[in-house]
Amino acid sequence: MPVNVEFTVRDTLSNFKSIRIFLSGADPAEIIKLALERCDLSTAHLPVRDNPSQNQKIGTKSSQQNFAPGLDEIWKNLQENERLRQKRFYAVNLLKELSKNRELAMQRRDGHKVMVEIIEDNIDEIKRKTGLTQILWSINWELTFMRRCLINVLEMINYADKHSKDVIIYSLNGRQLTFGRGSYICCNGSLQFGADDAIGAWQKICIESTKFLTFEVQNLERLVERVAELLGGINLLVQPHDGLLQTIKNVKLFIARICSQPPSELSKINSLLKKDQQVQIMNGYSELALLRGILQIPCNVDIQALKHFIDKNDASKAEKMRKEYFEQKYFLESVKNSTVSHLELTSLSWDADLNFTRLLDALRKLSKIQKEQISHFSGLEIHLGSGPKIFVLASGKISVPIEMIEDFEI
């Protein structure tokens, strides 16, 4: 859509002249040339375009390809100036924002500690009534929501009839209870209550666990041994808090796929796999992957694709990836401890999906903060994230964009 621009310029005789220009198209060179001509200014010094006809042809598209070489350089300079401006802004703004949010962070931290103590009291009461060994959370829920779940468990026990109460206590006694997404029996024999589920769904899982829990756990163990036997002694990993019945279904489907192959095909696969290679059987919506040295195989995998993937990602590569992962993990922990000590922080954490190299550079930069600036960090709990701005979390941690650390000038 054309844009109407009106402005006034002064000529060499100090007379003012009104200029009106209709801007259209996406070609910066043509727009600049038009503006100069309307102002009766020379266009002789504009950069020469490589191929005017080609630029005219694609002028309706918005892309850096539309720039003449000289204009492209101007654009790069503008971007660099903006980057430097942002860098200067972050250098001042980081310390300013930390100071501004300190009081709120301390208030929320105190409130968080009180809520944690209340939740611990609720957990102790549930353990005392049911004999649970541990209560876990698979997701970092808000504390108020966690407490609501615990209160619902207490109400389920307190208001159940005698038979239902006996079943609930029997199913929970001596086991772990996890709150997460969905209610089911876990692979390690513990129970998971869906944090969003109604109490009726929890009671149903308790009843099911008393009927066939032991048998199905033993069934899974036999299936795991069978897969290890078929694949030449690999180490099949089972996530303890995954759903038991769904995991059994996935492993059975994978075994059926493998057993449907000729012995020669199975031998080829075994020759590519290293003994004790760590393997996980995933659901049918997953893809073949090598994550942290663990070979992840969909239960409905195409056997030819599996062979090709294993051949391309041999056991030595898997072992190298696994070793690198743990080395990076321990190294980050070491740098983190050094940074916490240098800045006198109470704690330091970060988003799990942050790139290792990027995170390491940010931690190293923080560890070089000058002494006179440490007071801005002292006593705080910092969380590095990928968000656009600084804010205080419910726990009292201050979330700081990692980009702000990267552009901070020491």
Per-residue pLDDT, averaged over 377-402, amounts to 92
User: How far is residue 380 from each of residues 183, 349, 374, 388, 400, measured CA to CA in Å?
Assistant: 37, 12, 11, 20, 12
- Cβ-proximal residues to 51 (8 Å cutoff; 6+ apart), any chain: none
Structure confidence at residue 81 (pLDDT): 63
- Evaluate whether 133 touches 175 at the Cβ level (below 8 Å): yes
Question: Is the pLDDT at 335 greater than 90, yes or no?
Answer: yes
Give percent above pLDDT 70 in the chain: 84
Confidence class for position 79, pLDDT limits 50, 70, 90: low
For the question of whether the overall pTM of this predicted structure is more than 0.75, the answer is no
- Evaluate whether 259 touches 223 at the Cβ level (below 8 Å): no
Reading phi first (left if > 0) and then psi (alpha if -120 to 50, else beta), residue 380 is in beta
Confidence class for position 32, pLDDT limits 50, 70, 90: confident
pLDDT tens, residue by residue, 224-280: 999 999 998 899 999 999 999 999 999 999 999 999 999 888 998 888 888 888 999
Mean pLDDT score of the chain: 85
Structure confidence at residue 67 (pLDDT): 43
Q: How many Cβ atoms sit within 10 Å of the Cβ of residue 361?
A: 14
Structure confidence at residue 132 (pLDDT): 96
Question: Is the pLDDT at 156 greater than 90, yes or no?
Answer: yes
pLDDT tens, residue by residue, 85-98: 555 555 457 888 89
